[in-house]
Every structure is written in structure tokens, then in C-alpha cells.
Structure 1
């Protein structure tokens, strides 16, 4: 008796489709740049820089919402608000928040606790890195997604950043 096995390798890909940075209090902070840069057909990355106009900042909260496109963008899995200063100074980090933070941790200067006295930079988060996070670390089903983040300082919403991507 002879058996033949065939192995089918299925890979999924993540594609950045849009990035929106919305300053809500231009006396507090302003975006120097907010862009998706395409180096060639297969290499894209996102970068943003926000200039803080009222430093030092000692009180920051962040709301992260994950949405999936189903006749418009609808809530999908997570909508969490956390104290960023406590999170950054904590030794026991919340695993869910840490997962979202891992998307920018190696690519930003947000890697210390409060106060923040400098511009905030997220630099060259590559599509390959996002693909790894969304297919191998925590696999997501295929579809169009949006991650909405709202950044609060002293209880007031100061800026929103929205990242749109597609997973095939």
C-alpha cells in the first residue's frame, strides 16, 4: 500500500491601506508627518511624528479599538482604555495592552515612563513586521481592519490615529 502526502502551505499577507492622524487640540500637539511610505512593490512602512507643544506631560491615557469592516467598520474583539504612564512604569504589564504596544515598541521613542518632554516618533513600522504580528503572534482572520487610537492628556482627547489594513 502506497500513501502519498502533499503539503499545502498557506500564507496570509497584511497590506496597509490608509493612515489618518487627527490633531484635536492644535495648541497641545501637532503632527509633523503621518504617512505610509512605499519603497517598492513589496516594502512599505508607516511613520509619524507628533510635536508636543505643552511639555512636560505626566498624565496620558490611550483608548485602542479594533474594528472589522462589515457594512462599515464595526467593533471587533477589543476596545480598551488604559493609563499609559502606569503601563510604561509597570513590571507586570497587561498582556493585551502589551500586545498592542508591541506593534510600536521597537519603532518608537515611547519606551519610557512619564513625563514626556520630547516629540513622539513612531518610525518605519514595516509591513513585514505587521504581517508577523497579525499572522504568527496572534493570527487574525482575513478581512479589512481598522485600529483606532485616541490619545488623552489630562483627561482631554488630544489626538486620534487610525490605521487601516487588509489581511488576505
Structure 2
């Protein structure tokens, strides 16, 4: 295990494959490639093959820069449905991909159109003799946000999962709401967090009533040494 103490960019890797024949002799491949470019979009067939061999056992799972986090992953997910007539929850669970990578999957159906206003109360809590409020607590109108993003913290949270969801238009919403294979990436947050266990609570209300609450637990570890 190694820890990057400062953000890492511009990674040049010299790679060579040897075959044993009266000592080890160069065989098949010798070359140099850009590690950051490769993690953004894989190229060079042999390097792709080697990376696939180790991918499930490593935390090399996002483009550069790489910083000091050793673990940044989901640990639990709970969806509390307060109105089963309006909302049907088909799936709300985590899937372990590797030791340090867990994906969040949500699949629900809005049985009737949902329109302005949709109040979302978001709160981030940190574990310390139970989960205590930490960093932010905010209320936003989701319909207004989808029309034109506002609130810096809400924008940050939305950018984390936007590419894994079908949240791509303004209200009204009806039918499937999906988040698929969403995993946490260090490069999506502006600053490292203190090591700890966290809980992100998002409580959705519309028609003046609580409708659904999602509770997503995650861990951030800066250094295991």
C-alpha cells in the first residue's frame, strides 16, 4: 500500500515485459505511456489487458489527480418511503465491486407527476458517539434547481451522481427515477475530508407532505498507516 501525500498529475509509466530464458530477456512489450491519460480513456491493448487483471483489487478507479484518500466508499444505504401510493421503490442498495469500491443503486417509480415545489432538506452528518450535524444543512427546491442550479453545496452533491442518473430535465417528473452504479470519486470533491464515517440525508417533500428520505452512509480515510 502506498499513500500519495500531495495531488498527483502527469504520471509517465515505463513498462516492460520480460520472459525468462537464461535470465530474463525483453519480450512482447516495452514502452512508455501516460497513466493519467490511460485512466481517463484506456489505450494500448496490452496495458488494457494488464489493468483488467488488477482493476477489481485496487482503488485506481478515477482520472487524475490522485490525492491522499485510501478509502472513499459507500458503507450503507437506506430509503424510507413515506408515501407508497405515490412512490414505488424497486431497489435501494449497495453493490460491492471490490474492497475499496462500492456502488449505490436506486430504482423507483413516481406513480403520479411531481411538480414545483419539491422541497429537499439535505444534511451531512459525521459519526462521533452517534451521527452529529457536520458542515452543512440546507433546503432547496429541486424543481427550481433542475431548471437552474443554485446553492454551491447542492451543486457539488449533484455533480457527484449526475452522470449515473436519469435526472436530466426540469419538472414535472413522472415514471422511473434511476441512479445506477454510482460510486464515490476523490476527484469530484474540491478538498479532502477528515477521516471518518459520514451520513448524507436527503428528505424529499412535495404536496406539503414528506414523501421519501434517502440515507447514504460513507467512509473517507486519508491514510491507513
Output the CA distance in 1 between the equivalents of 2:195 and 2:99. Answer: 21
- Verify: 1:118 aligned to 2:158, yes or no: no
Q: Deviations over 1:26-85 (max 9, x none)?
A: 11102100111113334421110111122x111212111000011100000111110011
Which position in structure 2 is the counterpart of 1:142?
195
Cα gap change, 1:85 to 1:49, in 2 (>3 Å): same
Question: Which of 83, 99, 112 matches 1:25?
Answer: 83
Which position in structure 1 is the counterpart of 2:133?
75
Which position in structure 2 is the counterpart of 1:164?
217
Output the CA distance in 1 between the equivalents of 2:158 and 2:211. Answer: 19
User: Scaled by the length of structure 1, what TM-score is found?
Assistant: 0.85
- Verify: 1:48 aligned to 2:101, yes or no: no
Residue 16 (structure 1) shift: 1.4
Where 2:173 maps in the other structure, the secondary structure is coil
Which position in structure 2 is the counterpart of 1:4?
none
Residue 120 (structure 1) shift: 0.6
Output the CA distance in 2 between the equivalents of 1:73 and 1:40. Answer: 26
Task: In structure 1, list runs of 5 or more residues that go unmatched.
Answer: 1-7
Which position in structure 2 is the counterpart of 1:133?
188
Within 5 Å, give how 1:100-111 maps onto structure 2: 100-111=157-168
Higher relative contact order (CA 8 A, sep 6+): 1
Task: In structure 2, list runs of 5 or more residues that go unmatched.
Answer: 6-67
For the aligned residue pairs, the C-alpha RMSD in angstroms reads 1.6
Where 1:71 maps in the other structure, the secondary structure is coil
Output the CA distance in 2 between the equivalents of 1:132 and 1:21. Answer: 27
- Verify: 1:62 aligned to 2:120, yes or no: yes
Output the CA distance in 1 between the equivalents of 2:96 and 2:180. Answer: 14
Question: Which of 21, 28, 39 matches 2:97?
Answer: 39
Q: Deviations over 1:92-149 (max 9, x none)?
A: 633221111112211111121001122111111124x3x3334xx2321111100001
Where 1:96 maps in the other structure, the secondary structure is helix
Output the CA distance in 2 between the equivalents of 1:73 and 1:25. Answer: 26
For the 8 Å contact 2:109–2:174, the answer to whether it is kept is no
Higher alpha-carbon Rg: 2
Output the CA distance in 1 between the equivalents of 2:82 and 2:212. Answer: 5
